[in-house]
Amino acid sequence: MITIDGPVGAGKSTVARMLARKLGYLYLDTGAMYRAIGWKAHRLGIPPEEGPALRAMLAETRLEVHPGKDLPRRQAGEMRVFVDGEEVTEAIRTPLMSLMASAVSRAPSVREHLVALQRTLAENGGVVLEGRDTGTVVCPEARWKFYLDASLEERGRRRHEELRGQQEAVTPEETLAEIRQRDYNDTHRAHSPLRRADEAVLIDTSGITPAEVVRRMLEIISRSGRIGREGLLYRISYPLLYLLCRILFRLQVAGRERIPVGEGAILAANHVSYLDPPLIAVAVGRAISSVARHGLFDVPVLGRVIRWYGAFPVHQEAIDIGAVKESLKRLKQGELLLIFPEGERSADGRMRPPMPGVAMLALQAGVKVVPTLIEGAEQALPVGAKWIRLRPIKVTFGAPLKFSPPVMGKRNKEFYQSVSQRIMEEIARLKEAEQGNAPGKAALIS
CATH number of the domain that residue 154 is part of: 3.40.50.300
Shared-domain flag, residues 334 and 314: yes
Q: Are residues 132 and 275 in the same domain?
A: no
Which of 177, 200, 223 delimits the end of a domain?
A: 223
Cα within 13 Å of Cα(349), Cβ side: 11
In a domain, residue 444? The reply is no
Please tell me the predicted confidence (pLDDT) of residue 446: 36
Domain stops at, among 179, 199, 223: 223
Q: Do 238 and 336 fall into the same domain?
A: yes
From the first residue on, what is the mean pLDDT of each consecutive set of 10 residues in the chain (446 residues)? 90 90 84 94 93 94 77 52 93 88 90 91 81 90 89 88 74 86 83 84 91 88 52 64 87 89 86 88 84 76 73 72 83 86 79 86 90 90 82 93 72 82 92 64 42
Which pLDDT does position 78 carry in this prediction?
64
Do residue 318 and residue 415 come from a single domain? yes
User: 57 with 183, same domain?
Assistant: yes
445 domain-assigned: no
Domain contains 307: yes
Together in a domain, 8 and 33: yes
Q: d(Cα 9, Cα 161) in Å, to the nearest integer?
A: 10
Whether residue 218 is found in the same domain as residue 76: yes
- Among 174, 198, 223, the domain-final residue is 223
Residue 442 covered by a domain: no
What is the C-alpha separation between 326 and 322, in angstroms, rounded? Answer: 6
Same-domain status, 217 and 160: yes
Name the residue range of residue 401's domain. 227-435
Residues 107 and 175 in one domain: yes
Residues 296, 353, single domain; the answer is yes
Residue 267 lies in a domain: yes
Instruction: Count Cβ atoms below 10 Å from residue 242 Cβ, excluding itself.
Output: 15
Number of compact structural domains in the chain: 2
- The predicted pLDDT at position 76 comes to 40
In a domain, 446, yes or no: no
- CATH at 384: 3.40.1130.10
Give the pLDDT score at 127.
Answer: 85
The helix (H) or strand (E) run that includes residue 437 is none
Model pTM score = 0.51
For residues 158 and 243, membership in a common domain is answered with no
The pLDDT value recorded for residue 285 is 80
Q: Identify the pLDDT of residue 71.
A: 43
What amino acid is encoded at 230 in this protein?
Answer: E
Asked if residue 376 and residue 234 are part of one domain, the reply reads: yes
Give the residues across from 54 on adjacent strands.
none
CA nearest 443: which of 424, 428, 427, 422? 428
Let me know if residue 193 belongs to a domain: yes
Task: Identify the burial level of 214 via C-beta atoms within 10 angstroms of its C-beta, where 0-12 means exposed, 13-18 middle and 19 or more buried.
Answer: buried
The answer to whether residue 183 sits within a structural domain is yes
